[in-house]
């Protein structure tokens, strides 16, 4: 039996952890056991607890309760507490997801204690080191022993940074931090979307609750610092969405991330204030995962700066306007299913017009077969020493 210590903290990590935990519990209970550590990076009910409740994730074995703070403060506190938990639990490996401060803290704490790090969503790069996530993911990859890349582009990025191919690494010897094994495995979030898509239909009352016309809305999410920290940038994006809504008589549904909600509350800007006058613009609280995939399933189009949501738009075969200048998920842009618009109102409106007129969209199979979690478990069982 191998004992995994899994670090979660931010909303998308809790959701991703559901897929691996489900695979461990249902398919590999004799070979793997998982101890869950929640850093407390996200703590509102709608950003954390709701996912445990609706996705059947076991309650965390350790709740660190770190909360919000500056990067150094938040990461530093996590590092100290995770180190303590590792010493107590003595796991065979530590699992981290993605690129948040919780990911970085987990990878640093474990690698310094010579505990192998398993990085799920390895290799993704925006090539923009001003994003805190880019620093987190590069550092985590280079402290890891087993790296699971959801895409081929991720695998290529790792090879460019000096990681050996799996075949070469296997020839060199067993996997360890100096001889990491890199796998291309598909996307856990595709597993989750397939698993929960039908269950999501039970949440149709969401449309009535918020007065959403299920056949005529754009789904949007905004939370990146580069889109929210400067009120003029945020105001420009919201004004573009508002104009699109009014001119095309289409609703905009925006489940609001607390970072963005805080910014809007603090701002007293014309662009933001005038949203209230448009009854087609629906700003709602963050929703659970089931409601989110229901919204993605019915939306005409998705406009987002979220990494997870742009991919889920693709899974649901919906066009996506990416509210960022670059993306780690380059394949969805290359396939023509998504467009990079950044925060430029003109580009956002052009992208909406582009997809409104486009009828011939194809969504190639990029993210695996919906069994990434199983593949990851099997690889851990086989290669973790």
The residue ranges that bind ligand UD1 (CB under 6 A) are 10-12, 41-44, 47, 68, 99-101, 132-133, 223, 258-259, 262
Please choose, from the candidates 91, 74, 9, the residue with its C-alpha nearest in 3D space to the C-alpha of residue 42: 9
Identify what 312 binds: ligand UDP, ligand UD1, none; CB under 5 to 8 Å per kind. ligand UDP
Please choose, from the candidates 170, 162, 168, the residue with its C-alpha nearest in 3D space to the C-alpha of residue 142: 162
Quick one: which of 308, 342, 345, 370 contacts ligand UDP (CB under 6 A)? 308
- The gap from C-alpha 88 to its chain's centroid, in whole angstroms, comes to 29
Nearer to ligand UD1 (CB atom), residue 47 or residue 283: 47
Quick one: which of 12, 116, 186, 271 contacts ligand UDP (CB under 6 A)? 12
| Catalytic hit among 210, 223, 257, 298 | 223
Q: How far apart are CA 251 and CA 279, in angstroms?
A: 8
* Interacting residues with ligand UDP between 194 and 233 (CB under 6 A): 221, 223
Max Cα-Cα span within the chain = 65
Least Å distance, CB 383 to ligand UD1, is 28
Quick one: which of 312, 328, 331, 374 contacts ligand UDP (CB under 6 A)? 312
Instruction: Give 69's strand partners.
Output: none
Neighbours of 277 (CB within 10 A): 9
- The answer to whether residue 184 is catalytic is no
Residues binding ligand UDP: number (CB under 6 A): 16
Exposed / middle / buried, residue 362 (Cβ in 10 Å: 0-12, 13-18, 19+): exposed
Quick one: which of 236, 307, 342, 370 contacts ligand UDP (CB under 6 A)? 307
Q: How far apart are CA 325 and CA 345, in angstroms?
A: 13
Nearer to ligand UD1 (CB atom), residue 44 or residue 53: 44
Q: Which residues contact 53 (CB under 8 A, 6 or more apart)?
A: none
Residue owning tokens 């659970």: 288
Instruction: Give 291's strand partners.
Output: none
Nearer to ligand UD1 (CB atom), residue 157 or residue 306: 306
Identify what 42 binds: ligand UD1, ligand UDP, none; CB under 5 to 8 Å per kind. ligand UD1
Question: Is the CB of residue 292 less than 8 Å from the CB of residue 46?
Answer: no
**The two three-digit tokens of residue 265, written as one number:** 């509350």
Q: How far apart are CA 134 and CA 151, in angstroms?
A: 17
Our finding on whether 9 is near ligand UDP (CB under 6 A) is no
Identify what 255 binds: ligand UD1, ligand UDP, none; CB under 5 to 8 Å per kind. ligand UDP
Query: Using CB under 6 A, which of the segments 60-68, 116-124, 237-245, 301-309 binds ligand UDP?
Result: 301-309
- Catalytic positions are 223
Contact footprint for ligand UDP (CB under 6 A): 11-12, 15, 221, 223, 255, 286-289, 292, 306-309, 312
């Amino acid at each position: 039996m191998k004992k995994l210590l899994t670090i979660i903290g931010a909303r998308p990590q809790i959701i991703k952890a559901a897929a691996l935990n489900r695979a461990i519990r249902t398919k590999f209970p004799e070979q793997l056991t998982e101890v869950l550590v929640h850093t407390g990076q996200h703590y509102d009910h709608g950003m954390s607890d709701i996912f445990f409740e609706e996705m059947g994730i076991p309650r965390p074995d350790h709740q660190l309760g770190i909360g919000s703070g500056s990067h150094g403060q938040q990461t530093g506190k996590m590092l100290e507490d995770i180190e303590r938990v590792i010493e107590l639990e003595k796991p065979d490996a530590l699992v981290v997801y993605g690129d948040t401060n919780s990911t970085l803290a987990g990878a640093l704490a474990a690698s310094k204690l010579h505990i192998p790090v398993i990085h799920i969503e390895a290799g993704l790069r925006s090539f923009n080191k001003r994003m805190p996530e880019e620093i987190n993911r590069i550092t985590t990859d280079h402290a890891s022993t087993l790296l699971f890349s959801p895409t081929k582009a991720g695998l290529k990025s790792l090879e460019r940074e000096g990681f050996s191919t799996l075949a070469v690494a296997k020839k060199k010897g067993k996997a360890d931090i100096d001889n990491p094994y890199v796998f291309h495995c598909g996307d856990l979030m595709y597993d989750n979307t397939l698993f929960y898509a039908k269950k999501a239909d039970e949440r149709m009352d969401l449309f009535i609750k918020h007065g959403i016309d299920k056949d005529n809305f754009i789904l949007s999410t905004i939370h990146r610092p580069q889109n929210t920290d400067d009120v003029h940038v945020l105001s420009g994006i919201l004004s573009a969405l508002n104009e699109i809504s009014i001119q095309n008589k289409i609703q905009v549904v925006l489940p609001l991330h607390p970072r963005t909600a805080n910014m809007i509350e603090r701002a007293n800007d014309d662009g933001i204030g005038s949203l209230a006058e448009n009854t087609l613009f629906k700003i709602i609280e963050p929703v659970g995962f089931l409601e989110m995939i229901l919204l993605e399933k019915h939306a005409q189009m998705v406009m987002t700066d979220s990494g997870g949501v742009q991919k889920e738009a693709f899974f649901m075969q919906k066009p996506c306007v990416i509210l960022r200048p670059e993306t780690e998920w380059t394949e969805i842009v290359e396939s023509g299913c998504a467009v990079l618009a950044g925060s430029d109102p003109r580009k956002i409106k052009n992208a909406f017009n582009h997809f409104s007129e486009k009828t011939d969209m194809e969504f190639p199979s990029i993210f695996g077969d919906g069994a990434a979690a199983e593949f990851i478990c099997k690889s851990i069982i086989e290669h973790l020493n």
